[in-house]
Amino acid sequence: MIVLIAPEKDIPNEIETLQRLFKEGLEYYHFRKPEKNYEEHVAYLNQIDEQYHDRIVTHYFHELINEFKLKGIHFQEQKRIDALENGSEYFIGLNMIGKTMSSSFHEPSVLANCDIEFDYHLLSPIFSSISKKGYEGRGFDVNHIDKTIIGMGGINTDTVQETLALGFQGIGVLGGVWNAENPVASFKNIKSHYKECTE
């Protein structure tokens, strides 16, 4: 699976580019906009063709899944620690039927020992980040962990094969698409390369 993370700050033609990415087969879009408030989240989602809402996973304002037919919710590391310490109480009022639940991790040992059953886990940084300067890759090998883990950090066509060899069941991309001169062409390249490596 390929997960595309939203650019933290809005970029020119972002929604238009995103709709084209969905048309090219993007199935997991992680809607991560830390600086947007609830109303801005709603306004952003309202600009996206409704047929693609079920491919969007929200990082903030999890109650959005009650208003939009989203794919699921994601927990940043601190949010997971804070919210899920409360157990099932966190989910009261959230319509989670048929929705995915995922979380971010930065240490394989924490991921391996996590008791919460997430549908998939994002682990980073595998390679040095394209979008965050000074975020050095750590080359985690997760072949020994029996969970669905998506590798993030420095993922582009050159690192797809190595990521899969390290035991990851998918790739998470941010800078490899959004920082490219042509994000759609870059996504198509990564996608076809990923397909070749997994066939």
pLDDT at 13 exceeding the cut of 90: yes
166-162-185-133 Cα dihedral, nearest 10 degrees: 80
Q: What's the pLDDT at 35?
A: 96
52-80-66-4 Cα dihedral, nearest 10 degrees: -10
Q: What is the mean pLDDT of residues 21-32?
A: 98
Instruction: Check residue 139 and report its DSSP letter.
Output: -
Query: Hey, what are 122's tokens?
Result: 């994002």
SS3 content of the chain, % helix, strand, coil (to 5): 35, 15, 45
pLDDT > 70 in the chain, percent: 96
pLDDT > 90 in the chain, percent: 81
Q: How confident is residue 2, by pLDDT bands cut at 50, 70 and 90?
A: very high
pLDDT at 88 exceeding the cut of 80: no
Contacts of 51 (CB under 8 A, 6+ apart): none
Query: Hey, what are 78's tokens?
Result: 């601190």
Contact 61, 80 (CB under 8 A): no
Residue 76 phi, psi dihedral angles, 5° rounding: -65, 165
23/137: higher pLDDT: 23
Q: What is the mean pLDDT of residues 125-134?
A: 77
Q: What is the mean pLDDT of residues 8-20?
A: 96
Whole-structure pTM value: 0.94
Q: What's the pLDDT at 131?
A: 66
Q: Rounded mean pLDDT of the chain?
A: 93
| 145-189 confidence digits (pLDDT tens) | 999 999 999 998 889 999 999 999 999 999 999 999 999 999 999
- The span from the CA of 199 to the CA of 190, in Å, is 14
pLDDT at 103 exceeding the cut of 90: yes
Q: What is the DSSP string of 1-44?
A: -EEEEPPSS--TTHHHHHHHHHHTT--EEEE--TT--HHHHHHH
